[in-house]
Structure formats: structure tokens, C-alpha cells
Amino acid sequence: MSGSTNSSGMLLSTFSGAFQGSISVLLTLLAGYVMARRGYLNHQTVRNVSKLCTTLFLPCLIIEEMGPELTARKLSIVWIIPLWGLVSTLFAHAIGYLGKRVMKLPYWTVVACGRPNSNALPLLLLQSLEHTGVLDTLSQDGESVSKTLDRAKSLILLNAIVQQTFTFQLAPTIMARDDGQKHDEDPESQGRLRPGPGRLTSVVQDSERVGLLHDNDYDGSEGSDETRAGESAYTRAVDDIADKPDIHWPERIKFLEKPLKKTCNSISPVLLGAIIALIIGITPPLHQAVLDEDGALYSSITQSIVNLGELFVVLQTFTVGAELAIVRSSHPGVLATSWVLFVRFIIMPAIALLFVWGTAGRGLYVDDKLVWFLLVLIPAGPSAMLLVSVAEIVDINQGAIAGYLTIAYLISPLMAVVCSLGLSVVTSAAERIS
């Protein structure tokens, strides 16, 4: 009887902690939303801060949290985390594509189904679970709660690297097809100029055409304004070319130019941070100098990396809220929204729960309750906020995506149910090895 009571109490604590974590995420999003609405942030500022988060703060967080865990021995133990992250996201994309074909949904729903929030939301949830005592039940023997949280962060970020790399390789190609679909279905749009900066050729042609029209047909101020605008755009375009340095690779190594540039362009800051963390983690002298508290570089370089990395979670969430306020949202459609939410909050959590229930504690991978719990958490929850960024990159309408994401994060407290069920499955699986 007392065992049942303790189990119920732990499930209630898990639900409470996860619910509080979800609310904290919503409040942080709301703060960013309100500040952007009040005019403290504009679109360019939000874009710059968001890029700063993924270019600097997230790689620093990866080095800080993953470096101590990226040893050959530890990687051989937790290999299931990145593998399950990749397999689950591939499976979710396949489900999303099936729904898109059957229900004639836009292509962005495929990526929305397949790409969960893999960093900010899980990290905030874990921090909330630490304060409610839930992480105590997931700790290894003799492990402190703070050490368990650090280990959980490193595993979450290990999965985030896989998700981030996969997304930026696949998502733009998928979502760009919505633009082609839009132009095919809207004949009037085929002759319409696309938004965004023009090419040099267009600027030169516009300047020449406007000048001819002004000389021959117009004497009013409107023509003069158009001419000045065209000449200004032309001058800016030519200046950009003039300012660009003329750099040539030496003839002896010129054959390396294209492959090296292609490789550099394909390495994201997140992947670069992971490579640095791996090098530091598996190289004993570097590991001792950078990651050990008594190391020569710990008080200087390591602490600066820690300070920058700790800015990521909250600032990224705040920026996302501001982005939702700035991007003009539109109705995403009842069918599209319902389908994606069904996949993200019902289908994928159910698959994760079944996977852990059927495989955990059977000798297939590490017997670690924290790892099992994260296997449930990884595929579940709302879609990643970077969908808006990808939509902006490929130049498609962001309104429907922003509208869907607003709804998805408003119901993100449902993750409390997933966390409670996950702990129940983990507790059940742990009985097999006790």
C-alpha cells in the first residue's frame, strides 16, 4: 500500500514539475512577445540575437556540458541517445509526409511533424524537475542531483546536434516546395516580383529603364524620385562589388578551393561546437587543462565559455517569443494544425513510450533510468521554433507557421502528462534489473 502511495506521489511530483517547467517556458516566451509588441525589439534585432544564440551561445553550451561527457568510454554507453534521436525524427518526418499526401497539407507540416524542440524546452523542463525532487529517482547510486542534471543536459545536447544538423540539411529543401506550390496555384503571382533584395542585373536594368522614362516621358517630381531611387540602388550594388576583395587561391592548391568551401559551408556552428567538445573530451591533456577545476585554463577560458553558454536557454526562448510577435501570423488551417499537434503530442510520445517499455532493461543498451527517461522526452513536445527561421531562409510565407507555433506552445503544458507517463514506464522497466 505504501509503495503504491509513494509511486502516486512521485507521479504527481513529476506532473507538477513538468507543468511548472512548461509554464516557465510560456512566461519567458510571453516576456519576449510583450517586449517586441511594445517596440523594444525590431525584426532585425530579433534576427541578430537569434543568430547570436545559435552561432555563439549554443556552441559554448555544448562545449561546457558535453566536453566532460565526450570520452570514448561514455560515448560507447550512451550511443542510443543520438541513434534514437535520428531514427525518431526520420520516422516522424515519414508520418508527416504521409499526412501531407493523404490530406493535401502544405509541406511545412512535414518538418513541423518531424522536428521537435530539442534544446530549450527539454532543458527548462529538466531544471524544473530538479527543484521538485524528480531527478533524485533518475540518479545513479551515489550521484548528486546537480551531477544528474549536468549529465541530462549533455545527453539532450548530444541529441540536439543530430537534430540540428539533420534539420538544416533536409528542412529547407522540403519547405521550399511550398513556394513552388504557391506559384503554381496562383497564376497572378507568376509575373510578380519576389520579396527580398534584388540582383545586380535587375538594379542596372531598373535604373536604365527609369532613366529613359524620365528623360522621354516624365517631367514631374515623381519621375525624378524614381530615377534617384534607381541610381541609389545601382550605386549601392556597384559599391558592394567594388568593396569586395579580389582573393585568389594559389594555383598549386586551387583544386582544394571548391571542396573546402563546400565543407566549411556545411559545418554549422552547432556541429563545430560539438567537434571542439569532442576534441577536448577525448584528448587527456586538453581535458585536464580545460575541463578539470584545477586545470590551467579552467578559471579563464572555461569560465568564459560557461558564462556565454548559460545565456542560451533563456535568451533563445525570449527571442522566440519576440519573433512570434514580429512575424505577421495567419490562420494555419484547422486540419494542418490538428494533424501536426496530433503527431507531436500523441503519436510520437506513444511511440517513444512503447519503445522504452519494450526495450529498456533487456540488455539492448545501457541500464540507466535517466537515459530511458530522455528517450521518452526526445521525440515528444511542440515543434522546433527554428521552423520560422527556415521559412525565412527559403523565402516562403511565415504567417501560417507562426500561427501554428503559437498554438503549439500554448498547449505545451501537455508535456507534463508525457513526463508523468515516462517516469511510470521507466519505473516499471527498472524492476527488470532490480
Q: How far apart are CA 420 and CA 434, in angstroms?
A: 21
Q: Looking at the predicted structure, is the pLDDT value of residue 105 above 80?
A: yes
Give the pLDDT of residue 106: 92
Average pLDDT of the residues in 85-103: 93
Mean pLDDT lowest for which of 3-12, 63-72, 162-171? Answer: 3-12
Reported for 230-237, long-range contacts at CB under 8 A and 24+ positions apart, including other chains, are 230/203, 230/206, 231/207, 233/198, 233/203, 233/206, 233/207, 234/203, 234/204, 234/206, 234/207, 237/200, 237/203, 237/204
Decide if pLDDT at 197 tops 50: no
Q: Give residue 395's region: left, alpha or beta (phi > 0; psi -120 to 50).
A: left
pLDDT in tens, 223-254: 444 445 455 544 554 454 445 555 666 777 76
Q: CA of 191: how far to CAs of 176, 180, 184, 186, 194, in Å?
A: 19, 14, 12, 10, 9
All three cell numbers of 265, joined, read 559551408
CB 46 within 8 A of CB 322: yes
CATH topology of domain 10-187+266-430: Na+/H+ antiporter like fold (1.20.1530)
pLDDT for the residue 277: 84
- pLDDT digit string (tens) for 379-424? 998 888 778 778 777 777 778 888 898 899 888 888 888 888 998 8
- The rounded mean pLDDT for the chain is 78
Strand (E) or helix (H) holding 63: helix 58-66
Q: Give the C-alpha separation, 264 to 62, whole Å.
A: 19
DSSP state letter for 412 = G
Q: What is the C-alpha separation between 152 and 373, in angstroms, rounded?
A: 10
Quick: pLDDT tens for 402-412.
889 889 988 88
Q: What's the alpha-carbon Rg for the chain, to the nearest Å?
A: 25
* pTM of the model as a whole: 0.74
Q: Can you give the pLDDT at residue 212? A: 41
User: Which sequence spans correspond to the domains of the chain?
Assistant: 10-187+266-430
pLDDT tens digits, 363-377 = 889 989 999 999 999
